Amino acid sequence: MAQRLLASAINCGLMNYSETSIAATTPFLGLENVRKTYPGVVALDGFSMEVRPGEVIGLVGENGAGKSTLMKILGGVTRPDSGTITVDGVAHDGLSVEASLGSGIAFVHQELNLFENLDVAANIFFGREPLRGGPLRLVDRARLREMVAPLLKRVGANFSADTPVANLSLAQQQMVEIAKALSIKARLVILDEPTSSLPIAETDKLLDVIKALKADGISVIFISHRLHEVERVADRVVVLRDGMLAGTLGKRDIGHDQMVKLMIGRMLKEREKASEAARAPGAVALAAKAIRTPT
């Protein structure tokens, strides 16, 4: 039945093939009714979402909406109080860091985690370097370069494995982080505000990398306050507000005003009008007339 509906949508022009192929795939990751509280704060309250292969999900919300807590739960850093995390059909009440990595979940944080005194290859396979020399356990540099080269090609890098990270721009360093994620066979790459410090030209390059990951069947969660960038790359937008799922927007419904409405609970223009009304003078609370003090 579902397949017939999808076929009808294509024939009627309501969905294109890429939208349909994503919709038809089975989610490999799901969260259901996840809740996390801290003293005096409900960080997540009954949150649910799914991630399908090759899907770019824009995750948006105001500061304090629960995005960071959600990412920590997916990364195994924080354990939810309740709810279920399902990976490849297996339900868990929480993930460890090792289980998260083993499931193919990788992060590129806003603060990059690179060693500027090392080259690109050493950063990508730090702690996992191929070794040679028997008991001497020397790093096999030739093998290391062979392993890194295809990863750099996948992210469209214009620098070599031997380039010192200190010589790279911020956008190029982010490519190294993404290549590092691919080196662990990531199925989901979570990008936390990756364009916040980038100029327009380098932002465009990074968005192209996201599109390339999607083309390779790798899912991306793109966290950003730059809503126009979310519009450009997202197949679906998930909106958090006060720790709860405020709503989800499909590809054809994604727009700046729609995202803002879900983020703040009403259209931005309505909020501005309410703010103006709040600033309008009300009844006189205190009055003084003809007051004089002795000199």
Pair of tokens at residue 52: 């399908």
Count of other CB atoms within 10 angstroms of residue 10: 13
What confidence tier does 275 reach under pLDDT thresholds 50, 70, 90?
A: low
* Alpha-carbon gap, residue 81 to 154, rounded angstroms: 38
Alpha helices in 1-115 (DSSP H): 2-11, 17-24, 67-74, 97-102
pLDDT at residue 194 above 70?
A: yes
Give kind and range of the element (H or E) at residue 210: helix 200-215
Q: What is the mean pLDDT of the chain?
A: 86
**Residues written for the chain:** 295
* Alpha-carbon gap, residue 254 to 69, rounded angstroms: 24
pLDDT at 17: 40
Residue 204's Cα: distance from chain center in Å?
17
pLDDT at residue 99 above 90?
A: yes
Pair of tokens at residue 1: 């039945």
Count of other CB atoms within 10 angstroms of residue 291: 5
pLDDT at 9: 44
What confidence tier does 280 reach under pLDDT thresholds 50, 70, 90?
A: low
The DSSP line for 85-124 is EEETTEEES---HHHHHHTTEEEE-SS----TTSBHHHHH
Extended strands (E) in the chain: 29-38, 41-51, 56-60, 82-87, 90-92, 105-108, 131-132, 138-139, 188-192, 219-223, 236-241, 244-250
pTM summary value: 0.79
Residue with tokens 């994604």: 254
pLDDT at 290: 82
pLDDT at 291: 83
